A and B are shown apart, each in its own frame.
Chain A
């Protein structure tokens, strides 16, 4: 491989320790600045309410879970919306600088082969549903809840890793 070819390769990932410390520092600054941590599904829930406002306004407004969010106008008007837009911009910038942007269907090797679109959709549905039961996901409840030493945060992480390990075993044997 010539040097020039090597320069065009995707840059290596950061090692876990510097990644973890940087992530912890950002999480700490977030708590100091806002009083809460980082999240994700707070946004997807508001996005669901926002889409519902256009596709099925009456049903969304009458819904016990989403209705309250559309009542006051725009459900996307919240800090978490800007935070997730920030995540998207930050990820794009990082991927671009490291030459890691590539349009592809990824993960087929371990996650369903040719059925990869189905595993992606099913996984998303399970995670979306589950994160509403716990009122938080890996970021909002696991990471942020862990940082404030909350019982809910560590309980979430316990369930997350135990079932993740188990399901990963089962799906591997299914092939």
Chain B
């Protein structure tokens, strides 16, 4: 029951914010790749930096134990290849998996079709799994899974660099948005 409630509440907040930001709209999402609307970069970067800095702070206050956090294994070849395919799917199809759910709930038929595609892609993957199993652990970096250990730099320094980078993304993005005048609003046809 706890699983049900925590999933519904946290997922509910996630879906609500994605829709508020305009991330159910494929024109707005793909405008990031046309470099005319930088909302995707800005929102993702802000969220990552906020959560990363928050986790660091809560670890320092001994409120959470870093060992309890799931850190994805460093199969970097698999991560790059998967990222490339999801990026191509995003550029062609207009969504990523999570945002296609948001698009569908706001009435977009193309988002529902994208979701069917997700299932088909999973079927194809499962169908040839034995022959591509090795790809899923491609390019393992064995030294560490996270940036502070891999680079031997404190997480404080990394978070500060990320914050500076995020500010840079906001400036660069806003400058390019002003140049192109292609910002997608909720009323853009």
Contact = CB atoms under 8 A, between A and B. Distances in A.
A65 to B, nearest CB: 4
Contacts of B110: 105-108, 111, 116-117, 120
A153 B33 CA distance: 19
B87 A14 contact: no
Interface in B102-121: 102-111, 113-121
Contacts of B80: 155-156, 158-159
**Residue of A82, A120, A157 with most partner-chain B CB within 10 A:** A120
A90 B13 contact: yes
B47 interface: yes
A140 B146 CA distance: 16
B121 A151 contact: no
Interface of B is mostly: helix
B175 interface: no
A40 B90 contact: no
A123 B7 CA distance: 27
B152 interface: no
Contacts of A19: 17, 20-21, 39, 43, 46
B78 A133 contact: yes
A34 B7 CA distance: 9
Given A23-B43, A85-B11, A131 B86 contact: yes
B165 to A, nearest CB: 11
Interface residues of A, number: 124
A123 B124 contact: no
Contacts of B106: 91-92, 95, 100-102
Interface of B: 3-4, 6-22, 24-28, 30-35, 38-39, 42-52, 54-55, 58, 63-64, 68-76, 78-111, 113-127, 129-130, 132-133, 135-136, 141, 144-148, 150, 155, 158, 170, 185-187
Interface of A: 9-14, 16-17, 19-41, 44-45, 47-48, 51-52, 63-66, 78-95, 98, 100-111, 116-117, 119-139, 141-143, 145-168, 171-172
26 contacts: A11-B186, A21-B47, A33-B6, A37-B70, A38-B11, A64-B129, A83-B7, A84-B101, A86-B10, A86-B15, A90-B13, A91-B16, A100-B106, A107-B26, A111-B94, A122-B89, A127-B86, A128-B117, A130-B84, A134-B78, A148-B52, A149-B147, A150-B74, A159-B81, A164-B88, A166-B91
